[in-house]
């Protein structure tokens, strides 16, 4: 994959320069630097301004970076203030004519793009700040640039140490000095210390521990505890270092114990070419974390490596869903409109009509939609559908979604079907979204108008835990947004590796949104595969089971002779280090329900896609119960709410649609039906379900079934 041409946003701080190293290490080329600085007032420029978005302390040194790195530098004044102070940001905001300071990025980046037409990406040093990241992403996407944030969630990636970023900076030879302290027990004794030195790092951690704030990015200055100025780095990125003499640094006392350095003068010192550092030596977080690396190793010895295609599809599927569509169900918090279809010559045209009917005929605000299911006849039409669909979502945090292709299982002349969960106005105003559009080591960036997850607000009336709707996850390698190569693995081993990677994506999204339990999961598999379906089904179900059994524990830092060469190359070492930044794992008392659905195709021709809904704020015991009820197998997820045990969700598998009338499901529960057979019209009219036509289905034991009905409280 060809590398990107990158403009690097720099503030002078440690993170923006370390992100440049990671851009180069990932095969991209940084061709220009860009910086925003305080405006001139009455002929003078303030040394530091109170900005929510930009570091401005030490800005007088910024011009030297052009020669220090040998890259052209472009600068722009910061205009406006923090008008929009929401965590997420999507578009320009104006209050009484005032411009948001975020929009100062627009003319700056346009200036760079005019001088460097080849630029197609922008990098930033965002680590844990949604506020900064979402604003850079908003501007970048509007200008057609790919946002890169390789430091995103860095402390929560292997080796799970809050100071791992500082350790890696020290190992690479980056020298950034503390030039401002503002809180966390830091005094002016920290000023001009190398933030990545062992002595300074130890002092920072001790100071944060005394205030009880270690583990949330404080040791990295993520809460504004301190600011830094980079003066040195490894060759070949740094051609000159920056030297500031003792007499050119003046301590300026601030309010409430804050202190900073005013830089009166600085000069460049040429660096000698050196081979001490190479981009290949820069440590990158491993693709699989400890839990999933251990899972992958266990899975490797249990996958069915048999060949052949005796269990593959032998006949074309018939249409399985009703052409009428547009079923509707209303709960206390939302309205579910399912199976929306429209006439039209193409999928794009049909989606345009569907979205118009939703917004105009049904008076639905796109910002109130929390989750969507998009069914396509062919995945080749996804681009046109995405364009028609995405044009309606202009506010932050668009819906999470699952997209699959159903082929001829859709009715004749139907190219696309849409189902939506629409929150009532009072609920929609309180929903929260996770919408990461930057490439990173954490999980795949969103490509298109969808969020990784939408979290519902708590319901004080029912005391039911909050639902977290998570988008379907496919096995993209997060830094490159490409599928991992097969390498030395057999096709079955490659499928297992991809099932593991995509499930880790689901897990990381759940952890960052504070999910405590999954309601269950469906593993979609594509009908086009060289691996027998029986093998893929068994692998998917075992992956889900192992994920709930494999704990995050300390592991011996030794390589097993059984570790595959491809594992080392693609996923790195499986050694583990457990520290305070490891997030709480998601472990139910028993394994939540899971089943497998075979469909025509998945986004980008993926071989597997995991979809699930999580819950957060669950304080009671959670357990899965399985029962055999005559014609069906039922699994429920039961939660202790006060003194009562409540069924939060469940699924029922039956061998024939003729048995659906015998299946009892509370009328207040929301249903989604995965089916390989035409559903009885009377049953559909009564239940108003979302219908997902599938080629084949398997229950949690790997037994082929005709229908799986999933249901949950909403």
Domain with 258 in it: what CATH number?
A: 3.40.50.620
- The span from the CA of 300 to the CA of 564, in Å, is 9
324 or 5, which is more confident:
5
Please state the rounded mean pLDDT for residues 28-52.
75
- The number of distinct structural domains making up the chain is 2
623 or 274, which is more confident:
274
Q: Could you tell me if 276 and 393 lie in one domain?
A: no
Q: What is the DSSP string of 502-513?
A: HHHHHHHHHHHT
Please state the rounded mean pLDDT for residues 124-135.
90
Q: Could you tell me if 450 and 318 lie in one domain?
A: yes
- Number of C-alpha atoms within 13 angstroms, CB side, residue 219? 29
Q: What is the DSSP string of 36-63?
A: EEPPEETTEE-S----SS---TTGGGGG
User: In the beta sheet, which residues pair with residue 422?
Assistant: 335, 369
Structure tokens at 297: 């190793």
In the chain, pLDDT over 70 holds for what percent of residues?
A: 86
Among 224, 259, 281, the domain boundary falls at: 281
pLDDT at residue number 163: 92
User: In the beta sheet, which residues pair with residue 81?
Assistant: 100
Among 213, 246, 281, the domain boundary falls at: 281
> Quick one: which of 648, 647, 649 has its CA closest to 710?
649
Q: What is the DSSP string of 623-662?
A: EEEEEEETTEEEEEEEEEETTEEEEEEEEEEES-GGGGGG
Structure tokens at 108: 């700056």
Q: What is the DSSP string of 242-264?
A: EE--GGGEEEEE-GGG-EEEEE-
Going from the C-alpha of 358 to that of each of 330, 335, 352, 363, the distances in angstroms are: 15, 12, 10, 7
- The residues near 327 (Cβ < 8 Å, ≥ 6 apart) are 337, 338, 339, 684, 688, 689, 690
> Quick one: which of 568, 601, 569 has its CA closest to 474?
601
pLDDT at 573 over 70: no
- The residues near 134 (Cβ < 8 Å, ≥ 6 apart) are 87, 88, 89, 90, 396, 435
pLDDT at residue number 571: 38
Q: Could you tell me if 406 and 533 lie in one domain?
A: yes
Q: pTM for this one?
A: 0.92
How deeply is 448 buried, as exposed, middle or buried, from its count of CB atoms within 10 A (0-12, 13-18, 19+)?
Answer: middle
- The span from the CA of 596 to the CA of 598, in Å, is 7
pLDDT at 558 over 60: no
Q: Could you tell me if 74 and 129 lie in one domain?
A: yes
Going from the C-alpha of 225 to that of each of 7, 127, 147, 222, the distances in angstroms are: 27, 14, 26, 7
Residue 523 belongs to what H/E stretch? strand 517-526
pLDDT tens readout for residues 395-418: 889 999 999 999 999 998 999 999
CA angle (235 as vertex; 230, 237 as ends), nearest 5: 65
Q: Could you tell me if 245 and 342 lie in one domain?
A: no
- The span from the CA of 564 to the CA of 79, in Å, is 54
- The span from the CA of 625 to the CA of 646, in Å, is 12
Structure tokens at 324: 């009428």
pLDDT at residue number 315: 55
pLDDT at 18 over 70: yes
CA angle (582 as vertex; 614, 443 as ends), nearest 5: 60
Q: Could you tell me if 262 and 179 lie in one domain?
A: yes
pLDDT at 361 over 60: yes
Among 249, 281, 313, the domain boundary falls at: 281
Please report, in angstroms and rounded to a whole number, the separation of the first and last CA atoms in the chain.
43
pLDDT band at 561 (very low <50, low <70, confident <90, very high): very low
Going from the C-alpha of 459 to that of each of 53, 369, 426, 467, 647, the distances in angstroms are: 34, 18, 11, 10, 16
Q: Could you tell me if 322 and 436 lie in one domain?
A: yes
pLDDT at residue number 469: 97
Going from the C-alpha of 447 to that of each of 158, 203, 566, the distances in angstroms are: 25, 41, 27
Residue 8 belongs to what H/E stretch? strand 5-9
- The span from the CA of 52 to the CA of 586, in Å, is 34
> Quick one: which of 670, 642, 640, 672 has its CA closest to 516?
640
- The span from the CA of 215 to the CA of 163, in Å, is 9
pLDDT at residue number 559: 36
Q: Could you tell me if 258 and 309 lie in one domain?
A: no
Structure tokens at 33: 């630097």
pLDDT tens readout for residues 87-127: 777 666 555 567 877 888 999 999 999 999 999 999 999 99
Mean pLDDT of the chain: 87
- The span from the CA of 347 to the CA of 345, in Å, is 7
1 or 351, which is more confident:
351
Highest mean pLDDT among 46-50, 162-166, 205-209, 620-624: 162-166
DSSP code of residue 411: P
Provide the 10 A C-beta neighbour count for residue 310: 9
pLDDT tens readout for residues 417-466: 999 999 999 899 999 999 999 999 999 999 889 999 999 988 766 667 88
| Peptide bond before residue 159 is cis, with ω within 30 degrees of 0 | yes
User: In the beta sheet, which residues pair with residue 405?
Assistant: 376, 601
pLDDT at 578 over 80: no
- The span from the CA of 245 to the CA of 300, in Å, is 58
pLDDT at 24 over 50: yes
Which phi-psi region, left, alpha or beta, contains residue 99 (left: φ > 0; alpha: ψ -120 to 50)? beta
566 or 282, which is more confident:
282
Distance of CA 404 to the CA centre of its chain: 19
Please state the rounded mean pLDDT for residues 615-628.
77
- The span from the CA of 176 to the CA of 228, in Å, is 6
Q: Are 122 and 7 in contact (CB under 8 A)?
A: yes
User: In the beta sheet, which residues pair with residue 434?
Assistant: 453
- Sign, CA dihedral 210-216-222-224, equals negative
pLDDT tens readout for residues 196-236: 999 999 999 888 888 766 667 888 988 888 999 999 999 99
Which phi-psi region, left, alpha or beta, contains residue 329 (left: φ > 0; alpha: ψ -120 to 50)? beta
User: In the beta sheet, which residues pair with residue 518?
Assistant: 614
Q: Could you tell me if 321 and 259 lie in one domain?
A: no
Q: Could you tell me if 240 and 301 lie in one domain?
A: no
Choice among 57-61, 351-355, 504-508 with the minimum mean pLDDT: 57-61
320 or 69, which is more confident:
69
Three-state DSSP at 569 gives helix
| Peptide bond before residue 38 is cis, with ω within 30 degrees of 0 | no
Question: In terms of residue numbers, what domain contains 674?
Answer: 290-712
pLDDT band at 46 (very low <50, low <70, confident <90, very high): low
Which phi-psi region, left, alpha or beta, contains residue 325 (left: φ > 0; alpha: ψ -120 to 50)? left
Residues across the chain = 714
Q: Are 348 and 387 in contact (CB under 8 A)?
A: yes
Please state the rounded mean pLDDT for residues 75-79.
86
**Integer-rounded Cα radius of gyration of the chain:** 27
pLDDT at residue number 324: 63
pLDDT band at 601 (very low <50, low <70, confident <90, very high): very high
- The span from the CA of 20 to the CA of 73, in Å, is 14
pLDDT band at 147 (very low <50, low <70, confident <90, very high): very high
Strands 644-654 and 608-616: unpaired
Q: Could you tell me if 97 and 205 lie in one domain?
A: yes
Q: Could you tell me if 252 and 324 lie in one domain?
A: no
How deeply is 451 buried, as exposed, middle or buried, from its count of CB atoms within 10 A (0-12, 13-18, 19+)?
Answer: buried
pLDDT at residue number 569: 37
């Amino acid at each position: 994959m060809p590398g990107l041409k990158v403009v690097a946003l720099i503030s002078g701080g440690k993170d923006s320069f370390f992100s440049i190293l990671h851009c180069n290490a990932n095969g991209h080329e940084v061709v220009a630097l860009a910086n925003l600085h305080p405006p001139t007032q009455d002929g003078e420029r303030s040394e530091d301004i109170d900005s929510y978005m930009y570091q401005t302390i030490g800005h007088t040194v910024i011009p030297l970076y052009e020669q220090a790195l040998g890259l052209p530098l472009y600068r722009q004044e910061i205009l406006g203030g923090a008008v929009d102070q929401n965590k997420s940001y999507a578009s320009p905001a104006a209050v009484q004519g005032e411009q948001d300071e975020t929009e100062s990025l627009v003319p700056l980046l346009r200036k760079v793009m005019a001088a460097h037409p080849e630029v197609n990406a922008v990098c930033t040093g965002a680590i844990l700040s949604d506020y900064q990241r979402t604003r850079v992403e908003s501007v970048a996407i509007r200008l057609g640039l790919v946002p890169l944030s390789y430091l995103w969630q860095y402390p929560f990636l292997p080796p799970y140490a809050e100071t791992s970023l500082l350790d890696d900076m020290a190992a690479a030879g980056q020298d950034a000095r503390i030039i401002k302290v503002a809180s966390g027990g830091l005094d002016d004794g920290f000023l001009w210390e190398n933030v990545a030195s062992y002595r300074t790092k130890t002092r920072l951690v001790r100071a944060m521990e005394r205030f009880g704030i270690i583990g949330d990015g404080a040791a990295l200055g993520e809460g504004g505890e301190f600011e830094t100025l980079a003066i040195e780095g490894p060759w070949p990125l740094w051609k000159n270092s920056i030297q500031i003499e003792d007499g050119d640094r003046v301590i300026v006392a601030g309010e409430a114990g804050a202190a900073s350095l005013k830089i009166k003068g600085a000069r460049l010192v040429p660096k000698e070419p050196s081979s001490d550092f190479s981009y290949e030596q820069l440590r990158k977080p491993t693709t699989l974390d400890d839990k999933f690396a251990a899972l992958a190793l266990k899975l490797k010895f249990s996958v069915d490596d048999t060949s052949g295609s005796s269990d593959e599809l032998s006949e074309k599927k018939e249409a399985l869903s009703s052409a009428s569509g547009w079923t509707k169900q209303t709960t206390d918090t939302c309205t579910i409109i399912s199976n929306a279809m429209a006439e039209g010559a193409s999928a794009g045209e049909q989606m345009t009509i569907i979205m118009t009917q939703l917004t105009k005929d049904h008076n639905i605000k796109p910002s109130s939609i929390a989750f969507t299911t998009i069914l396509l006849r062919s995945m080749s039409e996804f681009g046109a559908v995405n364009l028609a669909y995405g044009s309606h979502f202009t506010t932050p945090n668009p819906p999470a979604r699952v997209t699959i292709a159903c082929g001829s299982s859709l009715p004749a002349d139907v190219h696309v079907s849409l189902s939506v969960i629409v929150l009532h106005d009072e609920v929609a105003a309180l929903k929260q979204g996770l919408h990461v559009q930057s490439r990173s080591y954490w999980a795949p960036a969103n490509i298109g108008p969808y969020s990784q997850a939408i979290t519902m607000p708590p319901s004080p009336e029912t005391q039911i835990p909050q639902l977290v709707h998570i988008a379907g996850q496919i096995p993209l390698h997060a830094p490159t947004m490409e599928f991992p190569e097969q390498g030395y693995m057999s096709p079955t081993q490659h499928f297992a590796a991809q099932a593991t990677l995509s499930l880790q994506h689901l897990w990381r999204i759940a952890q960052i949104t504070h999910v405590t339990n999954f309601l269950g999961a469906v593993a979609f598999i594509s009908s086009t595969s060289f691996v027998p379906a029986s093998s893929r089904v068994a692998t998917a179900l075992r992956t889900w089971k192992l994920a709930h059994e494999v704990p995050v524990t300390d592991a011996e830092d030794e390589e097993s002779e059984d570790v595959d060469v491809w594992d080392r190359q693609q996923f790195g070492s499986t050694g583990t280090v457990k520290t305070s930044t490891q997030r709480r794992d998601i472990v139910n008392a028993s394994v939540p329900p899971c089943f497998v659905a075979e469909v025509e195709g998945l986004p980008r021709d993926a071989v597997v896609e995991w979809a699930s809904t999580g819950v957060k704020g669950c304080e009671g015991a959670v357990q899965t119960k399985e029962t055999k009820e005559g014609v069906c197998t039922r699994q429920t997820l039961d939660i202790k709410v006060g003194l009562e045990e409540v069924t939060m969700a469940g699924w029922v598998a039956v061998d024939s649609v003729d048995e659906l009338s015998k299946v009892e499901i509370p009328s207040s529960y929301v249903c989604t039906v995965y089916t390989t057979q035409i559903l009885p019209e009377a049953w559909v009219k009564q239940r108003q379900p979302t219908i997902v036509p599938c080629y084949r289905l398997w229950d949690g034991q790997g037994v082929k079934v005709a229908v799986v009905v999933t249901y949950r409280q909403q």
